[in-house]
Amino acid sequence: MSKIIDGKEMAEGLRKKLAIKAEEFVSTSGRIPKLAVILVGDNPASQVYVRMKKKACEETGMRSVVMVLPEDSEEKEVISAIESLNGDDSVHGILVQLPLPRHISEKNVINVILPEKDVDGLHNVNMGKLIKGEEPLFLPCTPAAIIELVLSTGVEIKGKQVVVVGRSNIVGKPAALLLLQRHATVTICHSRTVNLAGVASQADILIAAIGKPRMITLEMVKPGAVVIDVGVNRTDAGLIGDVDFDGVKDRAGFITPVPGGVGPMTIAMLLKNTLIAAQLANARQFSKGH
């Protein structure tokens, strides 16, 4: 029987620490860390995520504003909304809730966000630094959450065989880069991978981020492996991960549940980035004034 990695409990612990730091920041700077979220359209899953982010912000002593734009908004309207937030000194972090409607380019929109307000860590400047092994201003939230969840097991990452299933710019690629920085040997698999089960079954640490319910099955998991399930698939049976949890849990050494694994830690990482953004903005204002 594997050990369940309780992302919810870990996130609560981190949020308590962040609440203390946020309170200290407010008392010393007179400013409240503020996150602005742009939501385009009425995707029900996105609406839920945005509400969760806003609630988590407020519970941690930060502010959150949500700008809702209609589904048929033009790309230039979304860009205009971001530019107005870029120019607002009271806003420290800007997040565009993904996915965007198909007629809007994710890349164009995200790269309008000022790198110092890019709390999702997806701007070309922050992602470019990550690729070069430099320190970005902000780590992408879900990949950063994955690292924290793996570290919580006590399993050393250095020298391990890691398989990341999924090559998205939001999760798969940056997660692979962060694991490489910690000296893992990383393989990225995707829909065109030949013998996916054979490759996955060699992994000491297996990251599932492909967006297909219960795709990772027993024969794809090495006995004792750390299994991190990033998938959030909405089905008639409720939320289901990319891993067949019941089928795999007795073989894995450690495994994250869905829900209650990666999701809560991703939000905690967003709060951490928002606080960092506020601290950086305050330092810039301070240096301008002196």
Digit-by-digit pLDDT tens for the chain (290 residues) are: 679 999 999 999 999 999 999 999 999 999 999 999 999 999 988 999 999 999 999 999 999 999 999 999 999 999 999 999 999 999 999 999 999 999 999 999 999 999 999 999 999 999 999 999 999 999 999 999 999 999 999 999 999 999 999 999 999 999 999 999 999 999 999 999 999 999 999 999 999 999 999 999 999 999 999 999 999 998 888 899 999 999 999 999 999 999 999 999 999 999 999 999 999 999 988 776 55
Burial of 130 (0-12, 13-18, 19+ CB in 10 A): buried
80 three-state secondary structure: helix
**How many angstroms separate the CA atoms of 277 and 258, rounded?**
29
pLDDT, position 45: 87
Contact 254, 3 (CB under 8 A): yes
Domains and CATH numbers, the chain: 29-114 (3.40.50.10860), 141-263 (3.40.50.720)
pLDDT, position 209: 97
| CA-to-CA separations, 250 to 150, 215, 221, 228, 241, in angstroms, rounded | 18, 17, 10, 15, 16
Active site positions, annotated: 53, 97, 120
